[in-house]
Amino acid sequence: MITLSVIKADIGGYVGHSSSHPLVLEKANERLAKAKRDKLLVDFHVTRCGDDLQLIMTHQNGEEDESIHKFAWDTFLDCTKVAKELKLHGAGQDLLADAFSGNVKGMGPGVAEMEFEERGSEPIIIFMADKTSSGAWNLPLYKMFADPFNTIGLVIAENMHQGFRFEIHDVKEHKKITLDAPDEIYDMLLFMGAPSRYAVKAVYHRGSNAIASVSSTQRLSMMAGRYVGKDDPVCIVRSQGEFPAVGEVLEPFTNPFLVEGWMRGSHHGPFMPTSIEESNPSRFDGPPRVVAAGFQLSGGKLVGPRDMFDDPSFDKARRTANEVADYMRSHGPFEPHRLPLEEMEYTTMPQVVRKLEGRFVDL
Residue selected from 16, 22, 62, 340 as contacting ligand F6R according to rule CB under 6 A: 16
Contacts of 149 (CB under 8 A, 6+ apart): 143
Choose between 96 and 210: whose C-beta lies nearer to Mg ion.
96
Q: How far is it, in rounded angstroms, from Cα 58 to Cα 54?
A: 13
Using omega within 30 degrees of 0 as the cis cutoff, is the peptide bond preceding 140 cis? no
Using omega within 30 degrees of 0 as the cis cutoff, is the peptide bond preceding 340 cis? no
Residue selected from 108, 123, 229, 305 as contacting ligand F6R according to rule CB under 6 A: 229
Check residue 265 for interaction with ligand F6R (CB under 6 A): yes
Q: Of 74-82, 190-198, 235-243, 258-266, which part binds ligand F6R (CB under 6 A)?
A: 258-266
Check residue 219 for interaction with ligand F6R (CB under 6 A): no
> Minimal CA–CA distance to 249: which of 151, 117, 106?
151
Residue selected from 13, 123, 269, 294 as contacting Mg ion according to rule CB under 5 A: 13
β-pairing, 267-270 vs 272-273, is unpaired
Residue selected from 3, 7, 9, 17 as contacting ligand F6R according to rule CB under 6 A: 17
Check residue 230 for interaction with ligand F6R (CB under 6 A): yes
Residue selected from 40, 46, 47, 52 as contacting Mg ion according to rule CB under 5 A: 52
Do the Cβ atoms of 321 and 274 come closer than 8 Å? no
Q: How far is CA 43 from CA 22, 62, 181, 343, in A?
A: 21, 14, 34, 39
In the window 114-173, what residues touch Mg ion (CB under 5 A)? 130
Q: Of 156-164, 206-214, 263-271, 310-318, which part binds ligand F6R (CB under 6 A)?
A: 263-271
β-pairing, 272-273 vs 289-298, is parallel
Greatest Cα-to-Cα distance within the chain, rounded to the nearest angstrom: 71
Q: Hey, which residues does 260 pair with through a beta bridge? A: 268
Marked catalytic residue, from 8, 10, 65, 94:
10
Beta-carbon count within 10 A of 117 CB = 8
| Strands across the sheet containing 2-9 | 43-49, 52-59, 2-9, 110-116
Residue nearest to ligand F6R (CB): 285
Residue 340 is classified by DSSP as: P
Marked catalytic residue, from 8, 51, 230, 307:
230
**Binding flags for Mg ion, 175-214, as an x/- string (CB under 5 A):** ----------------------------------------
β-pairing, 234-238 vs 267-270, is unpaired
Choose between 130 and 167: whose C-beta lies nearer to Mg ion.
130
Contacts of 168 (CB under 8 A, 6+ apart): 176, 177, 178, 179, 188, 191, 192, 198, 199, 200, 201
Catalytic site includes residue 70: no
Residue selected from 21, 27, 59, 131 as contacting ligand F6R according to rule CB under 6 A: 131
Check residue 108 for interaction with ligand F6R (CB under 6 A): no
Check residue 307 for interaction with Mg ion (CB under 5 A): no
Catalytic site includes residue 131: no
Least distance to ligand F6R from the beta carbon of 260, Å?
11
Q: How far is CA 159 from CA 115, 155, 210, 250, in A?
A: 21, 10, 12, 20
Helix (H) or strand (E) holding 212: strand 211-215
Please choose which of Mg ion, ligand F6R, none residue 52 contacts, taking the beta carbon within 5 to 8 angstroms, the exact cut-off set by kind: Mg ion
Do the Cβ atoms of 262 and 180 come closer than 8 Å? no
Least distance to Mg ion from the beta carbon of 274, Å?
14
Helix, strand or coil, per DSSP, at residue 44: strand
Residue selected from 51, 65, 242, 260 as contacting Mg ion according to rule CB under 5 A: 51
The upper half-sphere exposure of residue 11, i.e. CA atoms within 13 Å in the direction of its Cβ, equals: 33
Catalytic site includes residue 227: yes
Residue nearest to Mg ion (CB): 17
Least distance to ligand F6R from the beta carbon of 127, Å?
18
Please choose which of Mg ion, ligand F6R, none residue 115 contacts, taking the beta carbon within 5 to 8 angstroms, the exact cut-off set by kind: none
Q: Which residues make up the interface to ligand F6R (CB under 6 A)?
A: 16-17, 90, 131, 229-230, 263-265, 285
Question: Applying CB under 5 A, which residues contact Mg ion?
Answer: 10, 13, 17, 51-52, 90, 130, 232
* Residues with a known catalytic role: 10, 227, 230
